[in-house]
Structure 1
Amino acid sequence: MDVSIVIPLLNEDESLPELCAWIERVVTAHQLSYEVILVDDGSTDDSWEVILQLAAKNPALKGIKFQRNYGKSAALNEGFKAAQGEVVITMDADMQDSPDEIPALRRMIIEEKYDIVSGWKQKRFDNTFTKNIPSKLFNAAARQSSGIYLHDFNCGLKAYRKKVVKSIEVFGEMHRYIPVLAKWAGFKKIGEKVVEHRARKYGVTKFGWERFINGFLDLMTITFLNKFGKRPMHFFGLYGTLAFILGFATSGYLIISKLIDREFSLTNKPFFYIALTFMIIGVQLFVTGFIAELITRNAAERNVYLIEEKLGIS
């Protein structure tokens, strides 16, 4: 199969017929064998009924229906598991991503040997204050911390070599950082393509201001996981040891001062309480490191979701 198109969606029943028809026109014109995997992330509208109706007319359409809303990362992770195409392309269901980009994205993976090609919405139709400016700040921070120089980490329109999506696990809210996850897995040829960004035609956006706060928190998480995910004791143990040594040394100095000068008052000195605090924090960090090591080595499956129904997927 030439291409798998994975589309996570939430309450997009209005856009689905037009989007799927557009995809079919594009892939048929370029003579590509394909599948479209529509992942319904707990929609409360008629999205799943629309998917069933469309799939009855086009066997290339497949579906996964979550029992409740888990988020975009979960939807992508399940879509990646089901994908069979040589190239896997993701796009949003709101029709702000253009299916006309599919052939060029696939060509960059096949002919130019990229592992990932990320879309760059150079000209956007979003509100400048609420989306563009925070997005620029977020992308700048992501570039600096990851060493991957993409203009738009959060663009939903991306293309992947099949081996990439089968080698990574997308969880939590890490869909913004799939290129970073892929880089950790050893896929280093990551490219970028300017893509068309269209004004929203149906419905309303599902993301608010909180996505930028969550984005920066996830950036901190993924930076920590990159450096210390497999060896948390190296982080907690290091700073715990430093804090304990600092507190212990300060306590030793105060005790020696008391032995030399009997009138010297330990409890009247702020450094006495600061030293105790550092020692306590040091011990807590050290113990946290041990617990984190145990959790890391005994972690259960974290990507288990309640799927109510599947369509065309074994």
Structure 2
Amino acid sequence: MQPTVACVVPCYNEEAAIAKVVRDLRASLPEALIYVYDNNSTDNTVAEAQKAGAIVRHEPRKGKGNVIRRAFADVEADALLIIDGDDTYDASRAREMVDLLFEGPYDQVVGARREVVETAYRAGHAVGNKMLTGAVRSLFGNDVSDMLSGYRVFSRRYIKSFPALSHEFETETEMTVHALSLRLPTAEMEVDFKDRPAGSVSKLRTYRDGWRILKLILGLTRRQRPSLFHSVIAGLLALVSLVLGIPVVADFIRTGDVPRFPTAILAASIMIIAMLVLMVGYILESFMHMRQEQARLAHLRYPAPSRSADSVQELMRDAAGRDA
């Protein structure tokens, strides 16, 4: 029995490109089921996808994150590939990416974008991508060079352990941080990245979506690294307390009096708050470790990706027999 492969293509008004994406995926992965998830398109995206032979499903809640959450819940496959429906990624590399996932075995293979034309990135997107990727690398780990790539392949155990809480284009950031936090085996493969075809319009809004991604990074830092997050806040509060309190202490040493009682009380209060914030960070760190353990156990319920599904089932039966 061969492992199952599925492709998920999120789409919103991509009638100019979706048919070619589906045909390219079919040529590269003839055994795969290709799902086009329509996200309230107002053009002929659905008709073009059906004409090209894709299975069309609908997600009425707007946003790529909502599509990914729905697809990850609905589609069952040993390897699941996602790719944008705008024909900017080289879909002919799909076979190589799926093969790499099984050969690793890896839980995630990311198509790191290689710009083949100077206009592939919109103005500011390349710089923003590097800045946001750099922030994630600094906070969570260095195993990523293109955090915002929408061309990826996942194992079943990745999909079933991924909460998919994002709503819009920040979903790729959430995917990356999930893999880094659980230290899931991940590989990257360079893929060509080109202009959209004529008639296709980008749905990204540079500043709005960049701000949403930055807010998500801050939120993930607060949840995934609470001791670091709260230590920074506690440090800033302690600095304010010292700035206010040192002159009061200096006056007391010099004169033996405390002429500015309100300032002294304020400085002491801020320092107490700083200590409380620091303690909260360490307490939340313990809860975070418990959440990571639960996610890790959910991940381990499923076998590693393998070309030989029969051998995986045999290993699972053997393990069940030993436990009994």
Question: 1:199 Cα deviation (Å)?
Answer: 1.5
State yes or no: 1:193 paired with 2:185: no
Question: 1:223 Cα deviation (Å)?
Answer: 2.2
CA RMSD of aligned residues (A): 4.1
Give distance in 2, aligned partners of 1:123 and 1:237: 39
Contact 1:235 / 1:289 at 8 angstroms: preserved in 2? no
State yes or no: 1:75 paired with 2:67: yes
Give distance in 2, aligned partners of 1:287 and 1:195: 44
Select which of 40, 47, 50 maps to 2:38: 40
Aligned to 1:61: 55
Give distance in 1, aligned partners of 2:20 and 2:172: 25
Give distance in 2, aligned partners of 1:235 and 1:182: 20
Question: 1:129 Cα deviation (Å)?
Answer: 4.1
SS in 2 for 1:204: coil
1:89 counterpart letter in structure 2: L
Question: 1:123 Cα deviation (Å)?
Answer: 2.2
Contact 2:136 / 2:177 at 8 angstroms: preserved in 1? no
2:66 counterpart letter in structure 1: A
Distance 1:62 1:133, change over 3 A: same
Aligned to 1:94: 86
Contact 2:233 / 2:277 at 8 angstroms: preserved in 1? no
Aligned to 1:160: 154
Aligned to 1:182: 179
Question: 1:183 Cα deviation (Å)?
Answer: 3.4
CA deviation digits over 1:146-171, x for unaligned, max 9?
A: 21332211111111112111111122
Give distance in 2, aligned partners of 1:94 and 1:241: 46
1:94 counterpart letter in structure 2: D
CA deviation digits over 1:231-286, x for unaligned, max 9?
A: x8x96599679969x96x969x88xx6xx978x5435x644444455557877998
Distance 1:46 1:282, change over 3 A: farther
2:94 counterpart letter in structure 1: I
Aligned to 2:312: none
Aligned to 2:200: 203
Question: 1:225 Cα deviation (Å)?
Answer: 1.8
Give distance in 2, aligned partners of 1:176 and 1:287: 26
Shifted more, 120-129 versus 281-290: the winner is: 281-290
2:101 counterpart letter in structure 1: I
Distance 1:113 1:68, change over 3 A: closer
Aligned to 1:12: 14
Aligned to 1:226: 224
Question: 1:200 Cα deviation (Å)?
Answer: 0.6
Distance 1:209 1:34, change over 3 A: same
Distance 1:223 1:288, change over 3 A: closer
Contact 1:241 / 1:282 at 8 angstroms: preserved in 2? no
Distance 1:242 1:216, change over 3 A: closer
CA deviation digits over 1:52-90, x for unaligned, max 9?
A: x43xx74x6241x22231x22221121112222221111
Give distance in 1, aligned partners of 2:71 and 2:4: 16
Contact 2:143 / 2:180 at 8 angstroms: preserved in 1? no
Relative to the length of structure 1, the TM-score reads 0.71
SS in 2 for 1:5: strand
Question: 1:104 Cα deviation (Å)?
Answer: 0.2
SS in 2 for 1:196: strand
SS in 2 for 1:73: helix
CA deviation digits over 1:87-123, x for unaligned, max 9?
A: 1111000001122011100110112312211111122
Distance 1:221 1:174, change over 3 A: farther
State yes or no: 1:23 paired with 2:21: no
Distance 1:238 1:144, change over 3 A: closer
Aligned to 1:214: 212
- Where does the alignment leave 5 or more consecutive residues of structure 2 unmatched? 291-324
Distance 1:156 1:285, change over 3 A: same
Aligned to 1:312: none
1:41 counterpart letter in structure 2: N
Distance 1:138 1:166, change over 3 A: same
Higher helix proportion, which one? 2
